[in-house]
Chains A and B, each alone.
Chain A
Amino acid sequence: MTRSLLFQQVLNGLAIGSVYAIFALGYTLIFSILRIINFTHGAIFTLGAYATYALTGASFGFNGLLANASLPVRLPFVLALIGGSLFAAVCGVIVERLAFRPLRARGSDPLLTLVSSLGVAVALVNVIQYLFGAEAYSYPADPFGHLPSAVNFGTAAQPILVRTVQVIIFGVSMVVLAVLTVLMNATRTGKALRAVAEDTVTASLLGIDTDRLILLTFVISGFLGGVSGTLVGLSVGIAGPYFGIAFGLKGLAVIVLGGLGDIPGAVVGGLVIGLVEAFVPSQYIAYREAVPFALLFVVLLLRPQGLLGRTIVQKV
């Protein structure tokens, strides 16, 4: 393989990988604080994408209850993105209050929360389908103004192109990673969050407002979900309400590979899976879909704590 082709594959892998990474960041944040797998992240992701779409003033197709509906606003893309992500954050909080908080209050097994989140995710995605139908949507062209459509990492003679939106996704995931790392390690709120992650009861006895912090966690996670949903929708189009569920499943592979609850791990896991997918030889391209799950299965068997996680010791 020539050097430039190799480089192109690597860039493709990083591009795919940063899509997974940006989804996984919100996913793993919830696990890091609450030790639960929140499968609704995939549905929140979808809600964010649809909300941004609505806020750009576009109209929905002719299936579903709200056929041909559109909002009477027409925001520029970046504002719509923020608005849609805020909407996603609110949805995340509502899900938390209605579905997860009662389970937490009862001290339920995290497995029960996983099951509940599966149910809520399926319900939410089907509500979207019921309201807007199952069609594909795409955002208006040139959302960021007059940026070139692709960035050339090579030369004019041997172009190595990556689409601008993919570069943006990579950049955003790195920024989010940096912000979250600073938040968790260098701020008082971060310390409080880590206390809640260690032991919720003790944290509240120490005067930490655990409820508010859990709320904050879901707001951040939901906002990130909405951002990632919109950016992914921008990159590959919104394939229909179920595209979030597919990401939800793949996201499981990403966060387990990187280490459940490990924030840099989410990015590492995403990039690794992206790179592996990019380097699948062309005759097996049809099996590329199975790559994240095969990796998930292998990681679970060999090293369940993931690449960056610590071994979990069980107390008797």
Chain B
Amino acid sequence: MSVAPARAATGPAAAAGVLGVEALTCRFGGVVAVSEVSFSVARGEVFGLIGPNGAGKTTLFNLVTGLTTPTAGRLRYQDRDITGLPPHRIAALGIARTFQNVRLFGELSALHNVMIARHVRTRSGLVSGVLGLPFARAEERVTRQRAMDLLALVGLADRPGEQARNFSYGDQRRLEIARALALEPQLLLLDEPAAGMNTGEKRGLSDLIRGVRARLDLTILLIEHHVPLVMDLCDRIAVLNFGQLIALGPPAAVQKNPAVIEAYLGDEA
């Protein structure tokens, strides 16, 4: 498996890049899920987040996207403090995500799932929508078209009308990615996108992520357990264990880091 050329690691000064996580801490009662984690993600990077189960990776995603409020620390997105903002505002600013346990709108069709995520990029309200004013109708047409394009991008254009819950697990994950892309984000958070996929699907996913990053000029933050995928795709990797950041750097370096090896105790897939 080829290794993607590593991007030049940018120093902290220049990495007032896309996302800045500063001493982020999250406590649930007595449990510290995330403890004083700091890193920054540069523009255009594919940044991997790995660690044993329960290390706090998804909690970190929830903190970045506003689903959980941090107990301490700050979050910066493109030089803007987004700590404590609600999820829909963070989405409007350009951060989109997929979920560890796929959270599609099951009853709705694939097309509608993707169309919903264009909500923040459109503006027609209740009255103009109900009355069918020209502005609203035009927006609907564009929304539909863009949604179809995204379905085609992930290879699901053949069944736009099918209910999302009828799709296979792997297809659902791709649909979730299409939905997240409909938000027109600059930062895309993927939470274990390869879970439940076979080798062929994983390769397809890898190509998709690379393609999407290039075509849409995205920065990608990726949680993944499948080590070869992570090594292949990521420019840099952060390793969490028990909520703490124990290593950060290019994949090759991280792989050899003794603290990381100990954390996994030889648990490499």
Contact = CB atoms under 8 A, between A and B. Distances in A.
Contacts of A313: 28-29
A98 interface: no
Contacts of A316: 58, 62, 67-68
Nearest to A313: B28
Contacts of B62: 316
Interface string B23-42: 00000110000000000000
Interface string B52-86: 00000010001000011000000000000000000
Interface string A304-316: 0000000001001
What is the interface of chain A mostly: helix, strand, loop, or mixed?
A: loop
B213 to A, nearest CB: 26
Contacts of B67: 316
Nearest to B28: A313
A316 B58 CA distance: 9
Interface in A257-313: 313
- B interface bracket (residues with beta carbon within 8 Å of A): under 10
Nearest to B68: A316
A119 B266 CA distance: 58
A16 to B, nearest CB: 38
Nearest to B65: A316
Nearest to B59: A316
Interface string A4-42: 000000000000000000000000000000000000000
A316 B68 CA distance: 8
A52 B269 CA distance: 68
B165 to A, nearest CB: 15
Contacts of B58: 316
B187 to A, nearest CB: 19
Nearest to A311: B29
A164 to B, nearest CB: 48
Nearest to A315: B28
A313 B29 CA distance: 10
A182 to B, nearest CB: 28
A316 B101 CA distance: 10
A9 B82 CA distance: 54
A266 B151 CA distance: 53
B235 to A, nearest CB: 28
A225 to B, nearest CB: 35
Nearest to B103: A316
A66 B110 CA distance: 58
B62 to A, nearest CB: 5
A296 to B, nearest CB: 28
A274 B31 CA distance: 40
A313 B26 CA distance: 14
A292 B28 CA distance: 34
A227 B46 CA distance: 67
B93 to A, nearest CB: 20
B27 to A, nearest CB: 12
B218 to A, nearest CB: 24
B87 to A, nearest CB: 10
B53 to A, nearest CB: 15
B63 to A, nearest CB: 10
A313 B30 CA distance: 13
Contacts of B28: 313
A313 B33 CA distance: 14
A309 to B, nearest CB: 15
A193 B129 CA distance: 52
Contacts of B68: 316
Nearest to B58: A316
B96 to A, nearest CB: 16
Nearest to B100: A316
A313 B27 CA distance: 12
A259 B62 CA distance: 29
B104 to A, nearest CB: 16
B195 to A, nearest CB: 17
A315 B62 CA distance: 11
A313 B62 CA distance: 15
A316 B103 CA distance: 11
A316 B26 CA distance: 14
Interface string B2-35: 0000000000000000000000000011000000
A117 B58 CA distance: 38
A270 to B, nearest CB: 30
A208 B160 CA distance: 46
A316 B67 CA distance: 8
A316 B63 CA distance: 11
Nearest to B67: A316
A305 to B, nearest CB: 14
A105 B68 CA distance: 32
A316 B65 CA distance: 12
Ranked nearest first, the 6 interchain pairs of A and B with the lowest CB-CB distance are A316-B67, A316-B62, A316-B68, A313-B28, A313-B29, A316-B58
Interface of B: 28-29, 58, 62, 67-68
6 contacts: A313-B28, A313-B29, A316-B58, A316-B62, A316-B67, A316-B68
Interface of A: 313, 316
